[in-house]
Amino acid sequence: MVKPELLEDGPITLAEAKAELEKIKSVDSELSFRAGKCEDYFNDFVTLSAVKAKELCSKIESLNVSRLKQEHIVQTVDLLPKTVDEVKMIFQGSNISISKKDMESIASVVQEFK
């Protein structure tokens, strides 16, 4: 049996996952059932391209918000919050507290990409 080797471990945005699935689709003639379901989900909910998503990730990272991890940045890029209240709801489920000023800066950066 084949033992796959893990090359890299980390979160990726939905836009990057969609781009990877498109690469797989170009190589294989037919997607599996689960990959087809993922493709349907990506087509319905992903609005940014992979390049724009990476650019947005780097802009949010450049804000230098303290205690903000890569998982939080990816979640923000996937959900694209428009207002400070929406940013607050994203971080409500985690043990991270962000100042209102930082939330405003995150919302303003995301507004540029909408």
State the DSSP code for 8. Answer: -
Is 41 found in the same domain as 83?
Answer: no
26 lies in which domain range? Answer: 14-45
Mean model confidence pLDDT for the chain:
92
Question: Does any domain span residue 104?
Answer: yes
**What is the model's pLDDT at position 2?**
81
User: Does the pLDDT at position 102 exceed 80?
Assistant: yes
**What is the model's pLDDT at position 51?**
95
Q: Which residue has the tokens 């991270």?
A: 96
Distance CA 8, CA 40 (A): 26
Number of domains composing the chain: 2
Question: Does any domain span residue 64?
Answer: yes
Contact (Cβ atoms closer than 8 angstroms) between residue 56 and residue 77: yes
